[in-house]
């Protein structure tokens, strides 16, 4: 039995009350974040979402995998996208804002996992509208498709990335790279603000999806597929003369934090540092934690998403096998030497237990951490104020690659 910090704070078995009720979720968990434009409503507006959730509540549509839920967002997203197209020739800033809003509406449509044909359609629509906006940004962001040179049977042959280069980057002056590793419900077209932060600092951004979600070609049932995947991406970065391979830092978000921590060990020589932000490592896929996780702050049940992400047919099969197969402790990954590694999270995280960050101090190389008291998953809103200075410090002190 784990002596959970969340239980010490009286939250481990607390039921937040929004599971199975879109009305409760909207009124108690999502409406206020929507007014602020924070997770998962980045770049969205309350006026976009109020009519959608009014419709869902009136019609008692509570299952996010029901096509009625997914399709409820389409008309408003399509209208925003059309208004963005109309504004392109007269008001570029307005067009960019409208495309971002349309993308955010599509994001909530395919939330929390792309597990139905209609959710895949929503994701494809989101990418299309997001990419229309990307080409208007200054500087632009582009999709780059690279070969998966280490693909084995079951892996896809191509890796799609979003790449954004700072102004004035040249082969004579290669730039540092923020390598962004996205999460379970946040994918490549959900990270404009972070790319802006990198641009302001003169860094490039390379964004990938994680195994088992979105467009990632890595075989989700193979625990070694992430290592092949990251080898292909990091070698592509090293071969790009405009990118400084000695200053590449991985930043893994939520479920992506697991992969950032993994890469910090398996690819230590190719990374100046990594941030495991809101990361699971071991307990998050253990029986004891998963028995209570659906009562916590995550908007919907994680069961369906985890089954599809990891490729298990039943929940009992996942409970018996997932931790043994994917835990960074069970597989011994944490015993390997690591690059610099920052662990960032809220102490009261109900999705990925804070213990999953804490236990890393018992293994391998020394680690760094910042845990935010009385904050839930990811440690927002304070977290990024600690991550960015750490990234800057690592970029400034990373030794150049030996010739």
Question: Is residue 26 in a domain?
Answer: yes
Count of all residues that appear for the chain in the document: 403
The number of folded domains in the chain is 2
In the sheet where 340-346 sits, what is the strand order?
Answer: 141-147, 158-164, 204-208, 175-181, 243-253, 273-277, 340-346, 368-372
Distance CA 390, CA 397 (A): 11
Q: Which of 92, 119, 136 delimits the end of a domain? A: 136
Q: Which of 136, 164, 185 delimits the end of a domain? A: 136
For Cα atoms 141, 145, 148, give the angle at the middle one, nearest 5 degrees.
Answer: 140
Which pLDDT tens digits describe the chain residue by residue (403 residues)?
Answer: 889 998 999 888 888 888 889 999 999 999 999 999 888 998 999 999 999 999 999 999 999 999 999 999 999 999 999 999 999 999 999 999 999 999 999 999 999 999 999 999 999 999 999 999 999 999 999 999 999 999 999 999 999 999 999 998 888 889 999 999 999 999 999 999 999 999 999 999 999 999 999 999 999 999 999 999 999 999 999 999 999 999 999 999 999 999 999 999 999 999 999 999 999 999 999 999 999 998 888 999 999 999 999 999 999 999 999 999 999 999 999 999 999 999 999 999 999 999 999 999 999 999 999 999 999 999 999 999 999 999 999 999 988 765 4
State pTM to two decimals.
0.95
126 and 158 in one domain?
Answer: no
**Which CATH number fits the domain that encloses residue 263?**
3.40.50.1820
Task: Tell me the residue range of the domain where 21 lies.
Answer: 16-136
- Annotated catalytic sites, by residue? 254, 349, 377
289 and 239 in one domain?
Answer: yes
Cα dihedral 261, 264, 266, 272, rounded to 10, equals 160
356 and 245 in one domain?
Answer: yes
């Amino acid at each position: 039995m784990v002596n959970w910090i969340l239980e010490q704070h009286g939250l481990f078995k607390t039921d937040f009350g929004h599971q199975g009720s879109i009305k409760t979720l909207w009124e108690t968990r999502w409406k206020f974040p929507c007014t602020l434009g924070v997770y998962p409503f980045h770049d969205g507006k309350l006026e976009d979402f109020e009519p959608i959730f009014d419709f869902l509540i009136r019609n008692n549509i509570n299952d996010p995998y029901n096509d009625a839920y997914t399709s409820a967002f389409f008309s408003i997203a399509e209208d925003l996208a059309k208004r963005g197209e109309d504004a392109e020739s007269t008001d570029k800033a307005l067009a960019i804002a409208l495309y971002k809003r349309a993308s955010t509406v599509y994001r909530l449509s395919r939330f929390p996992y792309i597990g139905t044909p209609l959710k895949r359609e929503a994701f494809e629509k989101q990418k299309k509208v997001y990419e229309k906006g990307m080409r208007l940004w200054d500087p632009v962001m582009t999709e780059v498709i690279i070969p998966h040179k280490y693909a084995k049977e079951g892996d896809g042959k191509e890796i799609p990335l979003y790449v954004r280069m700072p102004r004035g980057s040249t082969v004579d002056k290669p730039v540092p790279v923020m390598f962004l590793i996205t999460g379970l419900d946040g994918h490549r077209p959900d990270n404009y603000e972070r790319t802006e932060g990198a641009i302001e600092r003169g860094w490039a951004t390379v964004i990938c999806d994680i195994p088992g979600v979105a467009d990632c070609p890595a075989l989700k049932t193979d625990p070694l597929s992430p290592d092949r995947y990251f080898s292909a991406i990091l070698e592509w970065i090293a071969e790009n003369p405009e990118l400084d391979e000695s200053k590449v830092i991985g930043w893994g978000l939520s479920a992506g934090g697991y992969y950032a921590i993994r890469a910090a060990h398996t690819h230590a020589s190719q990374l100046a540092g990594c941030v495991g932000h809101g990361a699971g490592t071991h307990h998050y896929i253990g029986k004891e934690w998963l028995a209570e996780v659906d009562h916590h702050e995550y908007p919907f049940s994680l069961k369906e998403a985890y089954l599809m992400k990891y490729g298990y047919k039943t929940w009992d099969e996942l409970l018996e096998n997932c931790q043994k197969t994917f835990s960074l402790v069970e597989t011994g990954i944490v015993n390997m030497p690591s690059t610099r590694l920052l662990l960032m999270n809220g102490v009261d995280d109900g999705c990925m237990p804070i213990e999953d960050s804490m236990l890393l101090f018992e293994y391998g190389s020394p680690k760094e951490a910042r845990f935010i008291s009385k904050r839930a998953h990811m440690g927002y809103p304070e977290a990024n104020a600690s991550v960015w200075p750490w990234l800057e410090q690592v970029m400034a002190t990373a030794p150049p690659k030996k010739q």
